[in-house]
A and B are shown apart, each in its own frame.
Chain A
């Protein structure tokens, strides 16, 4: 089974802090994604990566950046956390672009 592991289940941060969300997958997948999930808005794509050191903006990249130094690890960075970034963050990976995504269990981030 594919395992996508997000390092934190719950995080509470203060406005202005720099926040790192980590994601690791163990199936040698090329493609990795970061989404946020909010009630009534569903899943929205923040950033994705098709290869090491490669990144592409999704639909809502503002206020976020990413890092992919190794194939198995994809990090989401909030440069200066704001309250409107309080959300559930989901990491996902997939081997082939036409295949379904495999998700981690999410990180629920609260910014106060």
Chain B
């Protein structure tokens, strides 16, 4: 079983839709959760960074962590064509070091104008 599972998509939505991207994980020691956005032919850029359970909002983006279910989500409101990218989830136990950062394989999102 992989440490982190992420549906690869692809996911296509019309402009203005609410997008929900999800990852599940198996290691209950994970405490730090990240979402990265990766445009085509570019490196991943950090979008959201959360610690432990709960919600974090930044503009149109909301990151949600449910540690009891080992499930994290990224919601995008009022999606725009510029949101078209691959979204990677990542997580680690913090104290164990960045070398123990586990990534999902990414979900490719296309927002259609």
Taking beta carbons and an 8 Å cutoff, which residues of A are in contact with B?
4, 6, 9, 31, 33, 40-43, 45, 48, 56, 58, 90, 94, 97-106, 108
Set B41, B42, B95, B98: member contacting A101, Cβ < 8 A = B98
Q: Chain A's nearest CB lies how many Å from the CB of B4?
A: 8
Set B46, B97, B105: member contacting A42, Cβ < 8 A = B105
Chain A residues, CB < 8 A from B92: 98
**Which residue among A4, A9, A97, A105 has the maximum number of chain B CB atoms within 10 Å of its CB?**
A97
- CA of A97 to CA of B76, assembled, Å: 28
- Whether A90 contacts B43 in the complex (CB less than 8 A), given A40-B105, A41-B105, A42-B105, comes out as yes
Q: Which of B62-113 contact A (CB under 8 A)?
A: 88, 90, 92, 94-99, 101, 103-106
Chain B residues, CB < 8 A from A42: 88, 103-106
Pairs across A and B, CB under 8 Å, 30 listed: A6-B43, A40-B8, A40-B105, A42-B104, A42-B105, A42-B106, A43-B88, A43-B103, A56-B99, A90-B43, A90-B44, A97-B94, A97-B95, A97-B96, A97-B97, A97-B98, A97-B99, A98-B92, A98-B98, A100-B32, A100-B46, A100-B90, A101-B90, A101-B98, A102-B46, A103-B36, A103-B45, A105-B42, A105-B43, A106-B41
Number of B positions contacting A (CB below 8 A):
25
Set A33, A56, A103: member contacting B44, Cβ < 8 A = A103
